[in-house]
Amino acid sequence: MDYFEISCILVADDNIDEVSGIVIALLAELGFESFEESEDGVKAYISADQFNASELLELTRAYPDLIISVDTRRIEQKNWNHVWESNFPMTEIAGRVAVYAPFHTDVPRLEHSICILPQMSFGTGHHETTSLMIELMLDLDIDGKRVLDMGCGTGILAIFAAMKKASAVTAIDVDEWAYCNAAENCERNGIEGIEILQGDSSLLAGRNFDLVLANINRNILLADIATYSKCLPKGGLLQVSGFYTSDFPDITAEAQRNGLELIRHLEKKNWVTALYRATSALS
């Protein structure tokens, strides 16, 4: 499958990080899956069959105060690895987790090391939401827990949960590319036994987890928090990200409506990850 890469030059001011975050959120609503931030803009990627040039044009016209220009190019599948090798640096999270690709050398010896070849899947540790999810997971007791990574992308969160000795891990993504990529990355990290499924939250009926991880986007989270809560026993945890600070009150309100109390949250460049606890038994 081919992909489209769009390069957005953003309005340059003192709030470039905030502008970048807003534009990424808007592009995610159009179905863009992966993002790269730079000093003056954002690159975003979407499968060719999901790309809608008219929607992109409407977006740029609607936000002239954010977006200066947009360039578009088609990327053939066979060239994707080369694109990532030239644009995917190694990263560290909280000084404790190294996220690297197979082509990186001199990987630092940290508490945890995760090898990710992202292909076209979201979740490399570079975006604030993935980084925040992992940072918060560092302090969670996952040993022996049943964990769900919903919207798994590269599988990075599922892999990290397995590294932290979860007893069972399920990873689900609606995208076929992510489904295949997550399986590949599990193998790269020597992780066996993760259940990887292609589909959406309808697959969760009758399933139980101690910890649900969902790094998706605002609209999907608001639609699916009720489903996630039904998978959790009393004291079970829901950790979410993929939304902006302005969306945090809405996410928390929906969580509370479904018997979840806020425990902790982290923020970075106006992105949020939040941890909620179920206050009642499975319903």
Query: Which CATH number is 128-278 given?
Result: 3.40.50.150
Pinpoint the residues of the chain covered by CATH 3.30.70.260.
3-83
Lowest-confidence region among 23-32, 76-85, 196-205: 76-85
With cut-offs at 50, 70 and 90, classify the pLDDT of residue 170: very high
3-83 belongs to CATH 3.20.20.60: no
DSSP characters over 89-158: --EEETTTEEEE-TT--S----SEEEE---TT-S--S-SHHHHHHHHHHTTS--TT-EEEEET-TTSHHH
Residue 122 has pLDDT above 60, yes or no: no
What residues form DSSP beta bridges with 241?
215, 273
Cα(56)–Cα(69) distance, rounded to whole angstroms?
A: 11
With cut-offs at 50, 70 and 90, classify the pLDDT of residue 280: confident
Residue 35 has pLDDT above 60, yes or no: yes
| Torsion, Cα of 34, 38, 43, 44 (10° steps) | 30
Please tell me the number of Cα atoms within 13 Å of 98 on its side-chain side.
16
Mean pLDDT of the chain: 88
Pinpoint the residues of the chain covered by CATH 3.40.50.150.
128-278
> Average pLDDT, stretch 260-264?
97
With cut-offs at 50, 70 and 90, classify the pLDDT of residue 273: very high
Interhelix angle 248-257/218-229, nearest 10 degrees: 20
One-letter identity of residue 197: L
Residues 6+ apart with CB under 8 A from 3: 45, 46, 47, 48, 74, 75, 77, 80, 120
pLDDT at 248: 95
Instruction: Kindly calculate the radius of gyration of the chain based on its CA atoms and give it in whole angstroms.
Output: 18
With cut-offs at 50, 70 and 90, classify the pLDDT of residue 12: confident
Asked whether the beta carbons of 194 and 112 are under 8 A apart, the reply is: no
pLDDT at 147: 98
List of E strands, the chain: 3-10, 34-37, 41-47, 67-75, 91-93, 97-100, 112-115, 146-150, 168-173, 195-198, 211-215, 237-244, 260-268, 271-278
pLDDT at 84: 57
Higher local confidence (pLDDT), 16 or 27? 27
pLDDT at 46: 86
> Average pLDDT, stretch 50-61?
92
With cut-offs at 50, 70 and 90, classify the pLDDT of residue 281: low
Query: Token pair 């220009």 is at which residue?
Result: 69
Using the Cα atoms of residue 140, residue 145, residue 150 and residue 156 in order, give the sign of their dihedral.
positive
- Taking CA atoms, 217 is separated from 37, 91, 151, 199, 207, in Å, by 18, 23, 10, 16, 22
Highest mean pLDDT among 36-50, 110-124, 155-169: 155-169
Residue 78 has pLDDT above 60, yes or no: no
Residue 1 has pLDDT above 70, yes or no: no
With cut-offs at 50, 70 and 90, classify the pLDDT of residue 21: confident
Cα(160)–Cα(84) distance, rounded to whole angstroms?
A: 21
pLDDT at 159: 97
> Average pLDDT, stretch 94-113?
89
| Torsion, Cα of 202, 24, 241, 223 (10° steps) | -30
Written as six digits, the tokens of 47 are 């499968």
Residue 120 has pLDDT above 90, yes or no: no
* Nearest in space to 277 (alpha carbons), one of 235, 228, 247: 235
Residues 6+ apart with CB under 8 A from 66: 10, 11, 19, 22, 23
